[in-house]
Amino acid sequence: MKRRSIVALCLVTVLAAAVAAATSGATKKATASGITVWLQTDAQNGWPDIVAAANKQFQADHPGVSVNIQYQSWTDHLQKFDATLAAGTTPDVIEMGNTEMTKYMAAGAFQDLTSLKGTFANSATWLKGLAASGQYNGKIYGVPYYAGSRVVTYRTDLFKKAGIAKLPNSLAAFAADSKRLFANQKKGFSALYVAGEDWYSAMGFVFDYGGGIATRVSGKWKGILDSPKSIAGLTAYKNFFLSVSRAGKTAIENSPDPNPYDVFAQGQAAAVVGPAWYTCCTGKYKPVTGQFVMPGHVKGTVMPGFLGGSDLAVPIGANKALGADWIKDFTSTAAEKGLEQKGNIPNATNLLGNSVNERAAARSWFVPQAKHWVDVENGNILRNMLGQILTGNLTVKQAAKSASDNIASVLNQP
């Protein structure tokens, strides 16, 4: 009996000591002898020269302050960020996806950069969609970094063979052209490969018809997917999908379903819709690959494309002056022009060129700026809605109403 209680006592002492050591006092924040910057591996692979240039400029302005760039993966950088937030060891600059920003801004994870807006290059002409993702309650927490839109990547040879002289300038024209593209192709071939549950494409239709996903009405979120305009857009998507795509009705646009660019490279599609970087992976069809802007339903218009992108923010507990200064160097006009040359969309309208990617950004849509929007995405509410519409399990109206109510309840959580 006695021995057991001694052992138990020792165990409790060790545990208590561990707890005390861990909860006593905050970790000392590193003094300004160096800053830590978290960028995604896209920068390491795609534009390491731009990163190096920014570091050089920063170190010229701040001699003696080293820059430690740590490259992160999209799959787990938020888990790591949460751990640093809990421990108080946040990096001085972090790259966040534009859809990831709102949740963290609402929780107070970033420092207010509003007063420093003037120091960032071209801040007066920041891309509206991208800049909006870095703002919350009227304050600026994220500096736009770069964006990417969605375009149609197509086989110039197949279009030529089908006798399509002029690229389609409306959805109706595209649907008509697709009939010619289907000729003499084997089963499973798609004129335009769109995965059924590719909500990025589908929501473009909704916005093209003037609808939307959710709006804020007197402080509460209201789902508007069941509005007449949204339903028109969803119906248009259903009809368009059935006429041009032979993809799975419940397939998504990446793993474990086939990636559209792989479908393209296998010769199973005359065109695919997706980010502009799809040209990287067209395999043996690279010489006959071209891109054009997805047309809207009104002749001559551009279908609103989802503007993906990244912002740069200074987390709470970090060195605001130095962090913001590094961001300034990394989003300078020269840096942004460099990013543009690598095929991205720069962060300001005055820097926009005329590439297909950039023209597609002329009309763009973005997700509701709600702190629980991530939960809607993770809950696959939009994907499931599309699956039910395309398989015919529910009518467009029923599926839209159900999704709309679902979205509202998720967004309105405290």
Partner 1 sequence: MALSRTQRRRVRQGGWDALGLAVFVVMVFPVYWMVTTAFKPVTEIISVTPSWFPLHPTLGHFRAALRQPFFWEDVKNSLIIVGATVAISIALAFLAAIALARYRFGGRKLFVVLVIGIQMLPQAGLIIPLYVVLAQYHRVNSLIGVIITYLTFVLPFSVWTLRGFLIGIPEELEEAAMVDGSTRLGVFLKILLPLMAPGLVATSVFTFITSWNEYIFARVLLNDQSKQTVTVWLSYFSGTSRNTDWGALMAASTLTAIPVVIFFLLVQRRIAFGLTAGAVKA
Partner 2 sequence: MAAAAETSPFRSRRRRRFWGQALRASTPYWLIAPVVVVTGVILGYPLYWLVKLSTERYGLFELIRHAGESVGLANYRSVLHDSVFWHTLLRTVVFTIANVGLTMVLGTLLALLLVRVSKVVRLLLTSGLVLVWSMPVVVAVQVWIWMTNFENGVLNYALQQLHVGNFANHDWDQTTFSQLTLVTTLIVWGALPFVVITLYAGLSQVPRDLIEAAEVDGARPWRVFRDITLPILRPILLILTSLSIIWDFGVFTQPYLLIGQAKITTGNYLMSIYLFEEGYFKSDYGRGAAISLLMLVIVAVLSVFYVRKMVRIGDV
Binding site for partner 1 (CB under 8 A): 1-8, 11, 18, 21-22, 24, 27, 36, 40-42, 44-45, 68, 70-76, 79-80, 82-84, 86-89, 97, 259, 261-262, 265-266, 268, 275, 277, 280-281, 283-284, 308
> In this complex, which beta carbon is closest to partner 1, that of residue 285 or of residue 292?
285
Residues whose CB is less than 8 angstroms from the CB of residue 70 and which lie 6 or more positions away in sequence, other chains included: 36, 37, 38, 39, 91
> In this complex, which beta carbon is closest to partner 2, that of residue 157 or of residue 257?
257
CA distances from 121 to 35, 141, 336 (A): 21, 16, 9
Q: How many residues bind partner 2, per CB under 8 A? A: 39
Residue 104 interface partner, choices partner 1, partner 2, none, CB cut-off 5-8 Å depending on type: partner 2
Nearest to 369 by CA among 148, 77, 79, 104: 104
Provide, rounded to whole angstroms, the least separation between the CB of residue 7 and partner 2. 7
Provide, rounded to whole angstroms, the least separation between the CB of residue 111 and partner 2. 12
d(CA 155, CA 291): 9
> In this complex, which beta carbon is closest to partner 1, that of residue 7 or of residue 183?
7
d(CA 212, CA 208): 9
- What torsion, rounded to 10 degrees, do the Cα atoms 79, 134, 304, 404 define? 60
Q: What 3-state class would DSSP assign to 95?
A: strand
108 torsion bin: left (phi>0), alpha (psi -120 to 50), beta (else): left
> In this complex, which beta carbon is closest to partner 1, that of residue 80 or of residue 229?
80
Is 104 a binding residue for partner 2 by CB under 8 A? The answer is: yes
> In this complex, which beta carbon is closest to partner 2, that of residue 301 or of residue 380?
380
> In this complex, which beta carbon is closest to partner 2, that of residue 346 or of residue 387?
387
Provide, rounded to whole angstroms, the least separation between the CB of residue 130 and partner 1. 15
Instruction: Tell me which of 9, 32, 107, 183 binds partner 2, using CB under 8 A.
Output: 107
Is 18 a binding residue for partner 2 by CB under 8 A? The answer is: yes
Instruction: Tell me which of 33, 76, 86, 287 binds partner 2, using CB under 8 A.
Output: 86
The length of the chain in residues reads 414
- Secondary structure of 97-146 as H, E, C letters: ECCCHHHHHHCCCECCCHHHHHHCCCHHHECHHHHHCCEECCEECEEEEE
Binding site for partner 2 (CB under 8 A): 1, 3-4, 7, 10-11, 14-19, 21-23, 79, 82, 85-86, 88, 103-104, 106-109, 188, 197, 252, 255-257, 316, 374-375, 378, 380, 383-384
